[in-house]
Chains A and B, each alone.
Chain A
């Protein structure tokens, strides 16, 4: 029951003052009162490997796009800790619904360098059969639901997926990533409300990176960030420093425990900054200052985590050099191989529209193939394999 008042008194939109959970300082030491993470050295180094892999991958793929080798790319520069740290705290059976900037979570699950390349080059080994633009990854084996471009559509889906896990009575939850811009979509509000009311064990993880393409978060919403929305929907909510891998890890581990214990959703708002462009189609120099970027570059999440590893005596400059060199060489080799692989055969134009191609689709493919036989030079990628 709400208590009564007898004079009009507003609760102001900025009444909430949600704190930010931090563990690690930029120099790699812990804040007073903060705790060491619950993982061991092996896990610590695995997480670092994921971070470095993604940074090198992003750098190489942005370069490949500039060279015209792939049509599009979208880097996670500056936000790697949010996806790697959260994925690290989950179990392999937990489903991931990503937005599109969470390659770190996918890498952590074990997506191979070849799988990344095959998807980005839309070749015949791409699990998505060359149907979506680069970075729209997905893998059933790794419980990573295939990415789609529309913003926020994954949010109510993650609620439904988690509801199914609850019905099955299994030790599994669902994590759903999205940006602070997507939190303005109707699907965000619909999805959080559905999850709260229907008691779905879903972890909603908002990467608040400050910008939706060019629009700063101050022009996206008012009030106390995305976190305040969670509280409005009756959802347990935590704001965390998204550049602090240890904090993101601890927040997600706690969220997982809470979601499964209470059969209820959790919202995490991870505060970060998109150091690069929105995508290869964007140029941030038109909407933000070099100074601002430089300030955030000093808060590099990978460097912060490396300082912690170094302080622990778990990492050396020599290891650092070797790791970067290894990833660079593996990625380049995989890129060269993926580039040479052909696109899927034309038969895959009509598979997977339905569980089986309908007679109507078979007829359309037959007509297309007849046309391609007449004009093979017009369709060089597939016309040589019409009867494959």
Chain B
């Protein structure tokens, strides 16, 4: 075990993947010698050479288009998009190409070797264009997998699993936690399963569901609720697509209540999909409506960031309201 922050865990996972498999290639804006604007790719070029870790021109659609081609050729392409907010020039390549490559060709070709890494989320005073959580746009696209780690241990295990998964994965990294989240990370190679949720706190009264950076908020809200005598079960979804319906539904059947929280705006956020599925599969077990604690339906703000965020107090209030319904 080593103490690592989330960035170091990602860097460690990339080194592990590149050491084990010489088909693994990392690229994106500033990822070469500089090691990325957050340093997630530090020293990779030194260790593995310019052919396997390199800068690209500043063109997100070009990066993902290139990555699709490289992955279809048989390489494990790891493309970095510098901020999730800037992934949209590549939206066509991801939604129309990456996601459909295998299906449209009848499995003659696939880009299963592709992993797209990108930082997401707010809480860093980044305003509109350095704070968004765009996971729901991609969750509407069959053919993609979407993974979000919450801490260094998950970051390494889930990233290694994403790189080796034979399907294209978008790996959203919670940039607020890049240096803030520190934990023990095994030195050895390991993977965590994609599509499987993790129950981080067992409880009887109310299920609290989140992923990525929002897990920290959910856990604090659960502790606050605990002091009020409310016993929350806290689940980290870990994968948005495919998502672990069984684990969530089983928990709701036990507690009878569900609060979902994410930073992205409320309307059409992934919480809506979860709420719809849970009412369908656990209708007779519900003691209260499924509640969503999300960002407001506004562009991500700057001066009002604290008010916008689905913080610990908002989540706590939702738990109390759910209990008192």
Q: Report which A residues bind B (CB closer than 8 A).
A: 95, 97, 126-129, 131-132, 136, 138-140, 145-146, 148, 150, 153, 155-165, 167, 174, 186-187, 189-191, 193-194, 197-198, 351-355, 358-360
Contact = CB atoms under 8 A, between A and B. Distances in A.
A161 B105 contact: no
Contact of B62 (A131, A145, A193, A354): A193
A165 B52 CA distance: 13
Contact of B109 (A146, A162, A174): A146
B39 interface: no
A109 to B, nearest CB: 13
Given A156-B93, A198-B66, A128 B108 contact: yes
Interface in B72-102: 72-75, 77, 89, 92-93, 96-97, 100-102
Contacts of B142: 353
Nearest to B77: A160
Interface of B: 25, 51-52, 54, 56-57, 59, 61-75, 77, 89, 92-93, 96-97, 100-110, 112, 142-143, 145, 166-167, 195, 242, 245
Nearest to A174: B69
B143 A138 contact: no
Contacts of A150: 92, 96-97
A161 B65 contact: no
A215 B244 CA distance: 49
Contacts of A189: 59
Contacts of B71: 160
B105 A128 contact: yes
27 contacts: A95-B73, A127-B105, A127-B108, A145-B72, A150-B92, A156-B62, A156-B64, A157-B66, A157-B68, A159-B65, A160-B65, A161-B69, A161-B70, A163-B66, A164-B69, A164-B75, A165-B73, A187-B61, A193-B59, A194-B57, A194-B63, A194-B66, A197-B57, A352-B102, A352-B106, A354-B102, A355-B112
Contacts of A198: 54, 56, 66
Contacts of A197: 56-57
B104 A167 contact: no
A138 B97 contact: no
A127 B106 contact: yes
A139 B109 CA distance: 8
B69 A159 contact: yes
Nearest to A351: B107
List the 7 closest A-B pairs by CB distance, nearest first. A156-B65, A160-B69, A190-B62, A164-B73, A157-B69, A146-B105, A160-B66
A160 B102 contact: no
Nearest to B100: A148
B69 A354 contact: no
A130 B67 CA distance: 26
Contacts of B64: 156
Contact of A153 (B56, B75, B92, B109): B92
